[in-house]
Amino acid sequence: MATPFLQAISINKTYPGERFAGLRKTSLSIHPKNITAIIGESGSGKSTLLKLLYGLLSPDEGEVQFNGERIWGPEEKLIPGHDHMKMVTQDTDGLNIYAKVWDNIAGLMPNTDVAAKKERTQQVLKQLNILHLADKQACYLSGGEKQRVAIARALITRPEVLLLDEPFNQVDTSFREGLQQDIRQIVEETGLTVIMVSHDPAEALSMADELIVLKDGEILEAGHPQSLYQNPQHLYTARLLTNCNVLSSADAKHYGIRSKAEHIVIYPEWAIITSSWTRKNWMVKQVLFKGSYEDLVVEKRSVTLRLLNSKPGKYAAGDKVHLKVKKYLEF
Ligand code: ADP
Ligand code: MG
């Protein structure tokens, strides 16, 4: 059997305190040349897991291995963090704001081969679409541009693994998508392995090849984004990935759903307005315009459902409609 690329074997990490905090008996194997996204509520242990994988923290028990070798913790290394990995977080403090973008990036390469240094710097600037900013002083950059420079600095020395801890939080939505696409492309072109923590479901779903769901310091479930989205095994996962409707089985009964489960989950796109002349027993309460689509809040017997309408302008508050629920989940 081939040696696993990067794996955690039964790692435990407990922070001192009255309530449990940290990571419990966690095992996982990271696929090389893929993007793995770690998602979970705030405080679920995402950053802790990332730091343990990188070697910024040592586990209390168990170990992390990179290509079959145990990763050294911060007390065993002069410069904490594995030499073949780089980590980028929200803070771009590592940047020298008085220096030009070019020098911020090129400065991390040795001077032994000046031609190679120039070529590599140019390559990384191109990969991150910041070649036009090369001569700009870092203090004049926008948040999104600074984040691109931070990632370029991480990639210049060709790490095998790039760890991202919610690095796009400060970046405008419009810039974020471009940056997400560029990282995907770098992974496809160079075979880089990316492990990212994200709390944005759209980001995790669109970027990741593999999703890992953390809850209270434990892995709850893991899998491909599509299957985890369509068939989560836990309500917690559904809630993380979508703004879903959660009904009690008593409420769901009014809508023809018979189930003994405690919670019935209906995603906004699973409730569809159908044409019917007779049984229009739902009332549109609110129409929330979102540009290319609308969120409709509909109500029946004081139970509300939020659903997706891809044809804005078709319905108004007060309209009576007929609804069909084409899929639901039981928990
Ligand atoms: P996440 O990144 O998912 O928000 P973290 O991994 O940062 O979560 O933290 C997990 C839990 O451990 C939280 O309850 C947090 O308060 C606690 N924690 C994190 N770092 C420390 C620390 N250095 N000392 C004590 N508790 C910590
Ligand atoms: Mg965190």
Domains and CATH numbers, the chain: 6-240 (3.40.50.300), 243-330 (2.40.50.140)
User: Tokens 């990271």 map to which residue?
Assistant: 30
Ligand nearest to the CA of 89: 2
Q: 50 is written with which tokens? A: 């990332």
Q: Do the Cβ atoms of 87 and 163 come closer than 8 Å? A: yes
Which residue has the least CA distance to atom 16 on ligand 1?
43
User: What's the pLDDT at 139?
Assistant: 95
What mean pLDDT, rounded, does the chain reach?
Answer: 94
User: What's the pLDDT at 34?
Assistant: 98
User: What's the pLDDT at 91?
Assistant: 81
Measured distance CA(262)–CA(303) in Å, rounded = 16
Q: What is the DSSP string of 230-283?
A: HS-SSHHHHHHHS--EEEEHHHHHTTT----SSEEEE-GGGEEEE--SS---EE
- C-alpha 248 – ligand 2 centre gap (Å): 32
> Where is 213: in which H helix or E strand?
strand 210-215
Residue 274 has pLDDT above 80, yes or no: yes
Residue 317 has pLDDT above 90, yes or no: yes
Of 116-125, 165-174, 229-238, 307-316, minimum mean pLDDT range:
165-174
- C-alpha 143 – ligand 1 centre gap (Å): 25
The preferred substitution site among 18, 48, 90 for testing ligand 1, maximizing ligand atoms within 8 Å of CB, is: 48
The atom of ligand 1 lying closest to the CA of 44 is: 3
90 pLDDT tier (thresholds 50, 70, 90)? confident
Measured distance CA(240)–CA(246) in Å, rounded = 13
* Phi then psi dihedrals of residue 239, to 5 deg: -65, -35
Residue 175 has pLDDT above 90, yes or no: no
Which residue has the least CA distance to atom 23 on ligand 1?
15
Higher-pLDDT residue of 279 and 329 is 329
Higher-pLDDT residue of 14 and 143 is 14
- Identity at 72, one-letter amino acid code: W
> Where is 7: in which H helix or E strand?
strand 6-14
> Where is 150: in which H helix or E strand?
helix 143-155
User: What's the pLDDT at 93?
Assistant: 75
The atom of ligand 1 lying closest to the CA of 19 is: 14
227 pLDDT tier (thresholds 50, 70, 90)? very high
Q: Do the Cβ atoms of 37 and 60 come closer than 8 Å? A: no
Residue 63 has pLDDT above 90, yes or no: yes
Of 91-95, 177-181, 313-317, minimum mean pLDDT range:
91-95
pTM of the model: 0.94
Mean pLDDT in residue range 182-186: 96
Residue 70 has pLDDT above 80, yes or no: yes
For the chain, give percent helix, strand, coil, nearest 5.
30, 30, 40
269 pLDDT tier (thresholds 50, 70, 90)? very high
Q: Which protein residues are within 6 Å of ligand 1, measured from CB?
A: 15, 17, 21-22, 40, 42-48
